[in-house]
A and B are shown apart, each in its own frame.
Chain A
Amino acid sequence: MNAIEVKHLSKQYVIAKRQEGMWGAIRSLFHREYITKTAVEDVSFSIEAGEMVGYIGPNGAGKSTTIKMLTGILVPTSGEVRVGGLVPYKERQKNARQIGVVFGQRSQLWWDLPTIESFELLKEVYHISDRRYRRNMDTFTEILKLDEFFQTPVRQLSLGQRMRADIAASLLHDPSILFLDEPTIGLDVVAKERMRTFIQEMNKERGITVILTTHDMSDIEKLCKRMILIDKGRVMYDGGLEKIKEHFGTSRILIVDVEKDISLNIEGVEVIREEGIRKWLRFNREEYTAAQLIQQISEKTEIIDISLQEPEIDSIIRQMYEQGL
C-alpha cells in the first residue's frame, strides 16, 4: 500500500498587495488589493510504505506548503491528499497519531523545562503505554545519547542536542510516517552524520516511511534513493538520484586563492567569479580531477588556499532549465 498519495495537489494563497510609500500605506488601510499566489501547483506523486524520499527545491519552492498539507496543518485549494489512507485535513487528529514531524528551525519541545519532561508530557499527549515508552526511550537514548542532557532545559541545549531530542520526540509514539523539514540545518559535520545514521536506522529497522526536505545535497546523497525536486510549486523531477547526478551533478566548483592576480585560462574550465586573488572555477568532474586542475594552476602561480564546492540544488535547477531533462 502507498503510504502517501498526492494527486493534482494545488495550494493558492490570497495575500494583500503591499503598496509603496506613505501614501500607499494609508490607502491600503481603506482599500486593499489582493493577489493570488500559487505555492503548489498540480503536484502528484505517491510514496510507498518504507521508502525514504528527498523532497527538495530552493527557498520558496513550495516544500513546506506541501508538508503542511500532508500533516493536516493546511487545507489544499484543490487536489487530493492521502496519508496512510487518511485525508489529513479532515481527520487531522487521527493523522497526527500516525505521523511524526520535525521542523528543523522550530523545536516542538517545552522550552523552559528539563528535556526529559518534554518526553514525559508527550507520553501523556499521545497516550503511550509505559512499556512502549520505556522501550522507545531506551533505544533512542542509546543511539542518540539523550541522557547526557536529560536534566538540561531545552533552551540551554546546543542545536545538535536539540535536534536529537526533537527527532526522538517525534518518534516516541511509533509513527509509521516521518516528516523531516530541514533536519540538519545549522548542524556541524559530526552532528549531521549522527542525525543521518539515526534516520537511516529508523527507516531500515522500523520500516518508517521518511519524507525529508533539505537544502543540503549531501543529506539526499547519503539517505535517499529517490528524490522529488520541485521549483515554483511544480514537480521538476521525480526519480532516482543517479540520473540527476549523472546529468547535472558532474560539475564542481574550485575556489582558489592565488598569489598573483593573473587570469587563469584553462581549457574546459570556466571562471565564474573573481574577487582579487580569489577565483571561482567551474569544471567537469569527468574531464578533470580536482588534483589535475590544481596542478595546472600551480604551474602558473603559487596557490595560497583552495576549497572545493559540491553543486548546490539551485545550480542543478538552473542547469535543468538551461538544458532540459
Chain B
Amino acid sequence: MASFNLSINGKSHKVDVDSSTPLLWVLRDHLNLVGTKYGCGISICGACTIHLNGNAVRSCQLPVSAVGESKVTTIEGLSENADHPVQKAWLEHDVPQCGYCQAGQIMNAAALLEKNPNPSDEQIENAMSGNICRCGTYLRIKKAIKSVNKI
C-alpha cells in the first residue's frame, strides 16, 4: 500500500492503494467515478479512455504510481452538465445504443478535437479505431464528431 495524491477533474484526491493498481480501478473502486469503463484490461478496446494532461490515455494499464502530478480528466469531469461540445453532439445525434463504450469514445473524440478541430473523415477513422463499439455506432460517432464545430 502507498499513498497517492491525484488531481482528478480539478480536485485533489488522496488514495491508499497498491502502487501497481491501474488508474481505472482507482477511479472505479476507490473514488466511485464509474463512468470510465472496463472492457479488456489490455489497452485494446478503449472503454477506459481518460485524459492525462489533455491527452487520451488508456487507464486500464496506467499504474496509479505513474500518474504523478498529471491532471486527470474523466467523463464525469469533461463538463458539469453534459454541455461539453462533444457530449452535446452525442446527444444531438442520439449516438448510444447500449452506451457502455461511449464514455471512452467521447473522451477520445474530445482529445482528438482539442488537437485537430476540423478532422477529415480519414483522420476521425484513424483516431477512433482504437475504440471498439460492439453495437456498431461508428457512423453516428463520426457524424457527431464532424458536427461539433457547428454546434
A binds B: no
A interface residues, Cβ below 8 angstroms from B: none
Enumerate chain B interface residues (CB-CB to A < 8 A).
none
